[in-house]
Structure 1
């Protein structure tokens, strides 16, 4: 490799240059469109959602580094594909528990909720470094799942309140901060791997970034939560919109984290990419997700969230099929990027739809319960991929992801019929 640039590296550089030009033109177009219609500018959107932006970026920093380091982490605990998948599933246990208590905890912590959870979250970067076997890694992932989920759901509950308060769609922009942070972190970790550094050297350094982001999560003294329920209103839980939204979230999270976790291994093991260059898969995924979400900030206002999700699901199916059929690493990276565009707007747009279908006082509870079901896909996805890869290979695993993305279509149509 010395003195030479591999095809996948050249492709990634050209791809990133193309994306940069597109992003510049897109942002200019967004500014022009928003100025003409009187809508909030991008800078104003960033300012209004400052604290959840920092929280979601922190989550992206963790998962980006983790995704790029998966080949080393997996080898370090001597796990089979199935064992690694089951260990990842253990994170769902911690995640569900954290989401169950999130509305209660955030209500009591008030404006200190996000920075407090952000500081605790920085410890999660060290948990994968402690175990030496699959069982211990599974226990570590329980703690990771709890830390990640608490900060993630707290940020989304804050966003839902801010959307109602400012009468603006904020979800896609804030989730774009996750994606760009994911891409940057995955790229940095990939460079670290190519330079010969492993998880024990990379993760502690990136944990410092999470601490800096936690400092940006402080709420102003004037922060107030959602308005209480009107006198005499129904106190029941609106389960139908919650469960429909949960199904959409589940399919999206399965596709998203399965791709984040296994794409690097697919590129290096199945397609023979050099060590370290598998990380270009997660990088492409994060970059295209971020761009897709910024585009979604404008498209949601023009198409509506439901139509936006429908078209995105179709693109996601196409991306998964490209990954499954890719003959060389460069094609797989392109497929990963296409899948990133497909899943980009699904979760934030579904959050916005659910926020409109319930009362303001129900939002925190509704979002937390939808995510308790849906976010399990964030951990079930890698686990299921591990089982499929163990017995049928990663090509069949990504073909399965295409079917999962296709399941979003009927669910969104059902949500739309309810006024979403």
Structure 2
């Protein structure tokens, strides 16, 4: 089957792309169309909503962190048994960094690289005919990025829809519908973005409500027709993907440990690795018959007391680390340290496998792409390996400890940021999340 693809873009964050995308995914699935959601950029949370809406695993495509051949490989893999792929843009459609041609991290890169048109979601609240000027600006800003149609979002009334809609259609851009403003369509948020789909108390009913609205408000047939068959690319390679760190991988997995990119886990499984989940919050240790333990990011700052009381988990992890590698990313790195101070200023004992101390009470947002050179052999590769990824956290290191640095890092433009993370014996950790390897040319 040849999958069709369409990018859901917008002028900025907060335009309602996620709600529109989730509703469209479920609405097309109701029609019996095998549809899959994809997120551009480094976002863990939205792919979980995409999966909840479709029943199919989500996917991230990141043109800064991933080689173009890896982007093509991952999309080709995700689309091989799918009829429709909806790619949700991060931030504004053209927003990215100065990473070089086609490597900005923006969804516009995907549009150019893969020849996929854009359905523009315009938040028309606070304007009417001016929305047409915004749409025209997007249409002509980059001739290699095709704006195929427009959805008006958060319209205030039918009169508002008529005024804005007539102005947009007069420009020649197809208008595929309008969604009226409603507080019932808003998804709950917290400090790292939306509350995860797995924690949403009424996720299924909310997705059904979003689908009802999209079916009533939008022309689904017209939107399907705007999607184009994916181009067949000769250059398709998974070489830059992160290799499995072991044959049997003990993976922390619960409400405190949730942030593992879908493409990473899928690649591990495709190369014969077995992922064995365990829950630190349920006081479970990593399985003794695994050969590596991975603590992903998540929200340990919200569960610090439970983790501190998990004696069986801590003892089991310590015993595991005496003979096999343990690696922690972001939240996992915080748990590997000596202590974690929560938002109320209460300090909790962590595993102590590394010597740093972190605080969520002393907040400072750390956000951006990272390129890392690994200092020593470990789960992410050999010493000297280059890894691309990102940081997104509010926690601060209040005591750096005495461990050897895990990596030397730079930001997305190559500006050196110094040393990152820690390494002691078989234990390593860092605040940055790995996305893909850099392949030597």
Same fold (TM over 0.5): no
Structure showing greater radius of gyration is: 2
TM-score calculated relative to the size of structure 1: 0.22
Higher strand share: 2
